[in-house]
Each structure stands twice: as C-alpha cells, then as structure tokens.
Amino acid sequence: MLELIVGIDIGGTSTKFGLVDTTGKVRIHSSIATENPNIEGYITELAHAVRQAKDSLDEPVEFLGIGVGAPNANYKKGTIEDAPNLPWQGTIPLASLLEDEFNVSVKLTNDANAAAMGEMMFGGAKGMQDFIAITLGTGLGSGFVANGQLIQGHDGHAGELGHIAYKIGGGRLCKCGKKGCLETYVSATGLKRTVYKLLADHHMDSELKRYSFDDLNTKMVADAANNGDIVAKEAFEYTGKVLGAKLADAVGHTSPEAIFIMGGLAKAGDLIFKPTIKHFEKNLLNVYQGKIKILPSELDSTHTPIIGAASLILEDIENGKSVPV
Amino acid sequence: MLELIVGIDIGGTSTKFGLVDTTGKVRIHSSIATENPNIEGYITELAHAVRQAKDSLDEPVEFLGIGVGAPNANYKKGTIEDAPNLPWQGTIPLASLLEDEFNVSVKLTNDANAAAMGEMMFGGAKGMQDFIAITLGTGLGSGFVANGQLIQGHDGHAGELGHIAYKIGGGRLCKCGKKGCLETYVSATGLKRTVYKLLADHHMDSELKRYSFDDLNTKMVADAANNGDIVAKEAFEYTGKVLGAKLADAVGHTSPEAIFIMGGLAKAGDLIFKPTIKHFEKNLLNVYQGKIKILPSELDSTHTPIIGAASLILEDIENGKSVPV
C-alpha cells in the first residue's frame, strides 16, 4: 500500500493539488477551478478530482492526511476567514468539511506558512531551527520558524509581514485599508507601482513606457533591467532597498539563521537578491552582521505550495502527532 | 531541605541577586557592586555574597540551579559578549565560571528574555503560549515567547527590538552606531531626547526647562505631565505613538495574545499606556484589531529581573530538563 499525503494549494483562480509521498516527491498533480460559490459543491468537485488522481496511480493508495495552504487560513481553527479573493464569504470550516469527506486528518495554514514548512522538510531549511520564508507574489507572505516550530501565533495569524509598515501612517494605499504596507512596495504589484512612480517622477527613456499597468509583469521589468533599462534597474534597486531594511527589522524579532525568498519576484535572481542583501546588511545591528543568509528556495517552484501543504501532515507524522480522525 | 534557585541580575552598576523558591517567592535578596575588572575576582565576591545569604536563612538550603539575566548574554553559549556597560571585555564564559563555583546548572539570558520568562512563570502571562515582553529602562529590551517557548534565535540574540528602525536610515543616532533605532525614541533616554527636541523646536512654557539633560528623569517628566505641562504631555504622546506603531509591526511577526510593558517608563501608567494603545490599534492589520492586550507586568517590579532569571531554571525543572552539572 502506497502511503501518500494530499497537498492542496487554494488560490483565487485555481486549486492545485498533488499526491505527495513521504520523501516529498509529488507522484501526481492536477487542479480544479476555484469558482463554485457553494462550498459544499466545491468540496465535492475537489474530492472527485483527488480520487480520480488517486485511481490513476498503478498501486493501491492510502491517504495519511490532507494539508492545505490557503489565503486567510486559520491553523488553529481549520478555517478560512473572510478571504477577499476566494468565492466564499465569512468563515469556512474547510478542515472539517474535508475530514468528513476523506476521514483523515486535515491541517490548514496560509500559503507562506506552508512554504516555510516545505522548505524545512525538503528544502534549504532542512535541519534549521530558526528561519523565515518570504513569498513574493501578487502580495508578500511570510512564515516564521523558531525553535524548530512554525509560529502560528495566538490566533493563527502570525507572519503577516505584507502588512507591516514601510512608511508608518503614510505611503502607498494598501488593499487592506492601511497605508505604507510592505507589500505595496515589495511584491509583483509593488514593483509595478514603483515602475509607474519612476515613470511619473522622471523623464528617462524606458522601454517600460510601452506597457499598460494591467499588462506589465515582473518578467517584463526583469528583461528590461537585464537589457540595461535604467527605470527597470532602479525599480529593482528600490524594491531591494525596502525589502532589505524590513528584513533587518524582522531579524531583530526572531534572529533567524537564514531567510528564504521565493515566488515570482524571486525568479529575477540577482536583480532582487543583490540590492536586498546590500540594504539588509546595512540596516542590521552589529551582532547580526555577516551571519544571516538570504537565499532562494531550494524547492521546485512549480510544486512548492503543494509540497509545503503536505509537509503540515508529514511533520505531524514525524513527531508522532498524527491521529486519524 | 529547602530547595531554592539563585536568580542573578547583572547590571552596569550593581549585581542584584535573590534566593527564589519554586513558587517564585524571593526568600532573601542582596547585591554587590559590578566593578571588579577581574572576572574571577568578581565571581569570588558574588559567590561569597550568595553563600552569606544562604547561611542567613534558618533552614538548610539546596540550590537547584542558577539563572542569570545580563546584557549581551548568549543563552546558547552561556556567555556575555562585548557588553559595553560591563567591566569585562570580550567573551566571558559566565555560565561555566558559576558552574565550577557552585556545581549546579547555570542558565544565562538577556534581561528582557528573563523578564518574559518571569512573566510566563509567575506573572500575567501565566498559561499564555504567545506573548511579548518589553522592558523600558535606559534602553528598550524585548523577549518573545511563541508556542510556549522563549525565542532565543539562531545565535541566541533574538528580541532586539531596541534596534529595529523607527526611521530607516535616518533619525536619532543610537549608541549602537545606527540611526533611527526604536530605543532612541522609546526608553527613559528616548523620552528625555523627545523633551529636549520639543524644547528646541517650540517656545511653550514648561517646567522642564529647569532641568539639565543629565538631571532630567522619567519621574520628573511624568510629574510635569500630571501637572498639565504641555511639553511633558506631548513627550509621552509622541513616545506612545512611536511605540504603538512598532508594536503593531511586531504583531505582524508573531501574532501574540498580549504585550507586557515593564520597567521605569511603564510606571508612568496611563501617560504611556494610553497613547501606545491608541496608536497600536490604529496601525494594526484588521485581523488583529481589538484582540491583543497591552498590559503592565504583574510581577513585583523590584524583583522582576531576579524572578525572571530564576525562571530559566524553574522552567527546566518543570519540563524535566534540569540536570545537575
């Protein structure tokens, strides 16, 4: 009997899932649209797709559990709460709905926490007791591990670095309603806003003048920067300056061994890592300087969220905590 | 046989210690000057004073261990490293020196971490899994507890909120060499700097004009504020504004149940707590608003550092980790 964990990554557009073995290998993966406004209907569709994937494997499979990464997930309660980009309103008891369907343990956390778990179980953070994972997508997510454990926090909402202040009480308006939040500067969207700010404030030639805000993406800015476009280069420099400074602050909280940066913006490589590391070191207290690594993820980026979600269950199994429901 | 823990609080001027029972009660306390530049000589003096205190009790005593709170303490190594306000240079192996002298376990951490432990064992954080302790003295110290454990961090230097940036790359010069550090605004010294800044920038009448920078202390500013002095009131308001904003950021890291504020500046009561709470709530992400308590310490402030230091040993005993050396 092949023992597998279901890793599920719920995004605003699609729900990706994979069946992951205990070595972290994704044996099969697939997806469904995240569009059914009826949560029971969505669970039925998801369960159907998961069972289809299971049946397509050559050998008989036993599920050890289900791990889910989702926005606004509450680990302690197993719920998704008021997620603005998902089709369900209010508090959704996702863990219990999936437990009823599959009769195995279900663990739920936000996508950045799941990424941190994946990095600890199978990536560059293997063996580390204290580290931070930063995911740079549309927004900025973060997961903290201290003393070898994920920090979920009192209410399951730890690791919201996207909404700490780069500019206190001022700066760019965030969709959370506050101003100056870190993710309005450091994320795929933040990078675009910086490009537009630079184009507004200066009159340098730039190939980025060709693109509408809606069309512009991180890869276009990265390609332009690699072609020597001064606006694109400056946009990455500024993004790294902001990220480096705020990561130096994060170190003052939990003193990690390393900080892993992943997600779309991290794929820009040196363009984002170099300025981030420079400004990180510049803002660090002397006892930390030169000691803390800023690294790309070592996970296969296609499956990071799925492996991370599955790691929630694998960690419980390793610690002897897993109990079938 | 009475079982006691030695709690030691090493400060720049004096070393206070107490013999603490397993309920957190200080049975006897005393102090020596922290002045002997020879560390072996200092240990001999301290050991003599501790034994004198022990002998003055009516019943025979067994020491269960020694807990020490000290600036620049490294919990993982049991050392004090380059503490600018102590008479010893370089790295001092304090834990092993005391172990050799007393033949019991010695644990060492910085004073704010010790305060957090004391709050968890015997104060308002009893039963809490996730909280932060902030000590406001000459500087600003912090101790983080997550998942019921003190966060020491990779290198034993977690919880340095005194040196996170209120103003990134600018602002007041800090004795650490950086600019804009939180403790240059929020601490007894920070409050004095704010008073002097207000007196420099405005021309309001203020009784604080009578005092030199050297003479001015928190109590004088608090008394003036309570008498309606506009500069003193504004200085507290500004201090709370800065502290509230940065504590809201700290919540985005570890999502605590409560934040305990202790030390000299905390004794100003509403003068500091009211503006701190107001600006804290204003800067919090919506998922945290109205849920996180900002509270004064529930420990007897005279003995907080001693009880906190002793708690390092008591926690080990409770967890069955204590092993005589």
Confidence of residue B324 (pLDDT cuts 50, 70, 90): very low
Partners of A143 in beta bridges: A133
Q: What is the dihedral of CA A233, A234, A236, A238, to 10 degrees?
A: 170
- B256 to chain A, any CB pair closer than 8 A? The answer is yes
Q: Does A156 touch chain B (CB under 8 A)?
A: yes
CA-CA-CA-CA torsion sign (B280, B281, B285, B287) = positive
Q: How many residues does the structure list for chain B?
A: 325
Classify residue A171 as left (phi > 0), alpha (psi -120 to 50) or beta. left
Nearest CA in chain A to B252: A160
- For chain A, give the percent of residues with pLDDT over 70: 98
CATH 3.30.420.40 fits B126-296, yes or no: yes
Search chain B and give the residue with CA nearest A72: B287
Between CA B37 and CA B87 the distance in angstroms is: 5
Å from A52 to nearest chain B CA? 37
Of A192-206, B49-63, B164-178, B297-311, give the lowest mean pLDDT range.
B297-311
The ipTM, to two decimals, is 0.89
- Do B255 and A153 make contact, defined as CB atoms within 8 angstroms? yes
Residue type, B300: D
Contacts of B128 in chain A (CB under 8 A): 154
Residue B128 predicted with pLDDT over 70: yes
Phi, psi of B19 (to 5 degrees): -100, 120
- B130 CB neighbours in chain A (<8 A) are 151, 153-154, 158
Report how far residue A84's alpha carbon sits from residue B267's, in angstroms, rounded to the nearest whole number.
Answer: 42
Q: Contact, A267 vs A301, CB < 8 A? A: yes
Residue B325 has pLDDT above 80, yes or no: no
Please give the pLDDT value at position B323.
47
On whether any CB of chain A is under 8 Å from the CB of B209, the answer is: no
Confidence of residue A321 (pLDDT cuts 50, 70, 90): low
All residues of chain A having their beta carbon less than 8 Å from the beta carbon of residue B243 are none
Would you call B154 and A285 a contact, using CB atoms and an 8 Å cutoff? no
Which of A79, A185, A238, A254 is the best residue to mutate to test the B interface, defined by the most B CB atoms within 10 Å of its own CB? A254
Residues of A in Cβ contact (< 8 Å) with B158 = 130, 146, 253-255
With beta carbons under 8 A apart, name residues in chain B contacting A161: 252-253
Report chain B residues whose CB lies below 8 A from the CB of A157: 255, 287-288
Residue B170: Cβ within 10 Å count: 9
DSSP A268: G
Sorting pLDDT into bands at 50, 70 and 90, what band is A322? low
The answer regarding whether domain B2-116+302-318 maps to CATH 3.40.50.300 reads no
Q: Rounded to the nearest 5°, which phi and psi values hold at B82?
A: 50, 50
Interface check B35 vs A, CB under 8 A: no
**Could you tell me if B3 lies within 8 Å of chain A, comparing CB atoms?**
no
Does residue B292 register a pLDDT over 80? yes
* Residue to substitute from B120, B140, B154, interface A, most A β-carbons within 10 A: B154
What is the β-pairing status of strands B73-74 and B61-69?
A: unpaired
Q: Which positions ≥6 away from A239 have C-beta within 8 Å?
A: A185, A186, A190, A191, A194, A265, A272, A275, A276
What contacts B215, CB < 8 A, 6 or more positions away?
none
pLDDT at position A169 over 90: no
Contact (Cβ atoms closer than 8 angstroms) between residue B178 and residue B163: yes
Average pLDDT, chain B: 93
Q: What is the mean pLDDT of residues A167-193?
A: 94
State whether A154 and B286 contact (CB < 8 Å).
no
- Residue in B231, B235, B232, B215 with CA at minimum distance from that of residue B223: B232
- Residues in a beta bridge with A172: none
Weakest-pLDDT range from A72-76, A250-254, B116-120: A72-76
Q: Which two tokens stand for residue B280?
A: 């804290």
Segment (H or E) for B261: strand B258-262
CB contact under 8 Å between B153 and A252, yes or no, is no
**Which pLDDT score is estimated for A325?**
44
Q: Do B160 and A291 touch (CB under 8 A)?
A: no
Look at residue B10 and tell me whether its pLDDT is greater than 80.
yes
- For B171-189, what is each residue's pLDDT tens digit? 999 988 999 999 999 999 9
State residue B259 phi and psi, 5-degree precision. -125, 120
- Enumerate residues 65 to 124 of chain B having a beta carbon within 8 A of any beta carbon in chain A: 72, 81
Nearest chain B alpha carbon to A150: B147
Instruction: Select from B183, B245, B60 the least CA-distant residue to A168.
Output: B245
Give the pLDDT score at A68.
Answer: 97
Return the top range by mean pLDDT from A115-119, A240-244, B33-37: A240-244
> A158 CA to chain B: closest CA distance, Å?
5
* Nearest-neighbour CA in chain A from B95: distance (Å): 20
Please report the pLDDT score of residue A324 as a whole number: 47
- The per-residue pLDDT for A218 is 96
- Which of these, A183, A184, A175, A268, lies nearest to A218 by C-alpha position? A268
**Confidence at residue B322, expressed as pLDDT on a 0 to 100 scale:** 53
B160: nearest CA partner in chain A: A252
Domain map of chain B by residue range? 2-116+302-318, 126-296
The whole-angstrom separation of Cα A82 and Cα A17 is: 22
A47 and B CB contact within 8 Å: no
On the question of pLDDT at B85 being above 90, the answer is no
**Does an H or E element contain A68, and which?**
strand A61-69
Q: Read off the pLDDT of residues B198-233 as tens digits, 9 standing for 90 and up.
A: 999 998 899 999 999 999 999 999 999 999 999 999
A89 conformational bin, left if phi > 0, alpha if psi -120 to 50, beta if neither: beta
Q: Which of B27, B24, B29 is CA-nearest to residue B122?
A: B24
* Whole-number Å distance between alpha carbons of B220 and B140: 20
DSSP string, A147-189: TTEE---TTS----GGGSBSSTT-SSB-TTS-BSBGGGTSSHH
Retrieve residue A149's tokens.
Answer: 């454990």
SS3 content of chain A, % helix, strand, coil (to 5): 40, 20, 40
Between chains, do B130 and A154 touch, taking CB under 8 Å as contact? yes
Q: Which residues contact A133 (CB under 8 A, 6 or more apart)?
A: A112, A115, A116, A119, A125, A142, A143, A145, A259, A260, A262, A297
Class for the domain spanning A127-296? alpha beta
Q: Of B7, B150, B4, which Cα lies nearest the Cα of B66? A: B7
Highest mean pLDDT among A149-153, A230-234, B78-82, B116-120: A230-234
The reply to whether B2-116+302-318 and B126-296 are identical in fold is yes
Radius of gyration of chain B (CA): 20
CB atoms within 10 A of CB B286: 11
d(CA B281, CA A85): 25
Contact B161 A252 (CB under 8 A): yes
CA A254 to CA B161: how far, in whole Å? Answer: 10
